[in-house]
Structure formats: structure tokens, C-alpha cells
Structure 1
Amino acid sequence: MKAGRWRVRAWHVVVAVAVVVVAVAGFAFWARGAQGPGLEGTWTGSAEHFTAKRIFPIEVRFKSGGGAMRWGADLRCSGRLGSTPSVMEFVLVQVVGEECYPGSLQMFPTSDANQMAIEVTREGEDEVTYSGKVARTS
């Protein structure tokens, strides 16, 4: 065999296919982690507002008819969560509170099925406004 030349053997293909299958299955299980018990319930935690350099509490509630979110110091901001085509993304509307703004909430599974990473983007902006983690408390 000449240096620099590779011959593809059947076992190379089998190993490559197995790696792809395991990677896809692992991603699917990871992505479904929070969907196992569903999103219903109360999720609480904290988030950091990058530009304001503040950390504040977050509370997200899901029930069969929709959801709601409260956030900020003393949870003074509140709004309704509406569905979007994405299972893990919600529109934040009917926002009440001084210096509280509508936008979108994205939730991402973590390795713990009862914990989610969140990102909130203010309406009309592209950059994430604040992010954090919430855990299911009920």
C-alpha cells in the first residue's frame, strides 16, 4: 500500500454509521429530557440581566391551557406565555409592570429532567436580554 492512501473497509463504514446512530439517539434523549414528565407545573429559579448586571428571581407556570411568567425583583413583572410552532419557545405577551417588556422565552433541557436553562429576548431585539435556570418545584 502506498503512503497517504486509505482503503475504506466495511468495518469503517459500520463504525461510522454506529457513531452517527448513537449521536442522534443521544441528542434525541437529551432533547426530550424535559418532555418526559411534560412542562406542566411551576418552575422557579433565577436569571441574570447582562447589561443591567442584575440577578433576579423567575417563576414560570405551565398548565394545560397555557402558561404565565413572573420575574424581576420581588417578581414585579408578569406576563402570559403563548405557544409558537416550536415546542420549547413561547411568546411573552400581556406584560404588566414598570420597565417590564414583552418578548420571547426559550427553554432548553439540561441533564436533569426537572431543570431547564432559559433565555428571554425582548421584543424587537435579536440579542438575549437575560438568561438563567429554573427547576420544577411542583
Structure 2
Amino acid sequence: MGKKRNRRGGDLMPIVEVLADRNKIDSEQFDRLLRTLYREIWDIVPAELSAEEPGARLVAHDLEIRFRERHEKDGPSNFDVEIEIRAIDFPSRRANIQKRTERIFERLRLSMGGLRFFVFILLSPGGFASR
């Protein structure tokens, strides 16, 4: 079984999932927001989550970004947009994870306009195999 590789040849990680509620955002703003977030996430997340250890230095193509609309079965939320980032746990990344989370949040704030949103980063050990 082979591993999924990014363009640099490393493991594909982190995964950024953006969940947006179309019922709370008008169509034109929704489409513009997703395009903007797509561009910004490529720049912001690698810069803020890169770490010192081998294999923890990130570039844009290390990311897998997933966008989806909130579905009625997802349950209620007080937020218009939810951004969850899952990444491999490295000691230097973990040491200041709250500051990294806050910097990503602040860098995305302007693009969100008045929308309510959050950024959540989950670090964990991980493995991946595929065929």
C-alpha cells in the first residue's frame, strides 16, 4: 500500500475543512467568500502551522482543502462559517497552538466581513495508507 503524497513528496497534511451555512449568507456573498477563503487558506495555514521538525515544514500544496455547505442534518450552529484544521501533532507545533489558532483567525477576519466564524485546530498523531 502506498501513501498519499503531496507535490513535494511528503505526506498530504493538514486537512482544512470549511463548513458554511448558505441559509445565513446571501448567494453572491457566499460564492465570493468561498473563492476568497480558498486563496487565503493556501497562504495563511502553511505559514502559521509550519513547524521546526522534519516533515512539519509546510507549503501551500501540502494542504487538502474541503468546502461543504451546512446540511439540515448537521444540527444547529451559532456560526455562519466553521473552519476546522486537522494536522499531525509535532512538539513545536503543539507548544503554541493557541497563538497559531488566533493568528489564523485574525488573518481571516477581514475576509469574513460581519460573519460569525471560528477556527479550530486539532493536532493528533496520524497515519495514512492508500492504493
TM-score computed with the length of structure 1 as normaliser: 0.28
Higher strand fraction: Structure 1 or Structure 2?
1
TM-score computed with the length of structure 2 as normaliser: 0.29
Higher alpha-carbon Rg:
1
Higher helix fraction: Structure 1 or Structure 2?
2
